[in-house]
Amino acid sequence: MTTPGEPATPGRPRSERARQAVLTAARELLTDKGLPGLSVDDIARSAGVSKNTIYRWWPNKAAVLMDAFAEATSPKLEFPADGDALTNLRTQVRQVAHLMNAPRARRPFVALVAASQHDPELAAALRERFIATRRAGAHAMISKAIDTGDFRRNLDPDIIIDLIYGALYYRLLITGAPLNADYADHLLDNIEPALRPDGR
């Protein structure tokens, strides 16, 4: 007899229902209880799967938590498919500000970032399973805008990413100042002239 969500034989495709149960349990526990003391046993018990099932799919608790956070937030942070580069950038930055202002995203993300300062596994999961994907999307959008002439040719996409998103995360993690659509607009109003080919 197998534990719910646990493959009956080696090589059997993972159960998507069990996977979603694990991710949902991880998100809810992280949001409701915070990170300290949260264990794989807690997640397994809440999800109704065995601890071995979790370890079959994820290398550690950090990877579970980051996949749970990324799956819930990443679709809301995508760049629009159509429209001009500056409008799309503004739309996406507003989405980031809105999401990070929502308690159910803000609280777990701040907890994960704080804990990652003292947990190498969590730090690696944060970079690899969330930050890298988000940064790659922004880099691709900015690079395309440079290639099409919508942005200045001599821009460094990595520096632009640091300037824009660094400002958002500075408010989120350091100052605690309001992080909302108005701030996102004000930020882009100040940065856009440096992005335009004519500098206006």
SS3 per-residue string spanning the chain? CCCCCCCCCCCCCCCHHHHHHHHHHHHHHHHHHCCCCCCHHHHHHHHCCCHHHHHHHCCCHHHHHHHHHHHHHHHHHCCCCCCCHHHHHHHHHHHHHHHHHCHHHHHHHHHHHHHHCCCHHHHHHHHHHHHHHHHHHHHHHHHHHHHCCCCCCCCCHHHHHHHHHHHHHHHHHHHCCCCCHHHHHHHHHHHHHHHCCCCC
In tens digits, the chain (200 residues) has pLDDT values of: 334 444 444 444 558 889 999 999 998 888 777 777 789 999 999 999 999 999 999 988 888 988 888 888 888 889 988 889 999 999 999 999 999 888 888 888 888 888 888 889 889 989 988 899 999 999 999 999 999 999 999 999 999 999 999 999 999 999 988 899 999 999 999 999 999 987 55
pLDDT given for residue 3 in this prediction:
40
pLDDT given for residue 5 in this prediction:
41
CB 159 within 8 A of CB 87: no
pLDDT given for residue 95 in this prediction:
94
pTM of the predicted model over 0.85? no
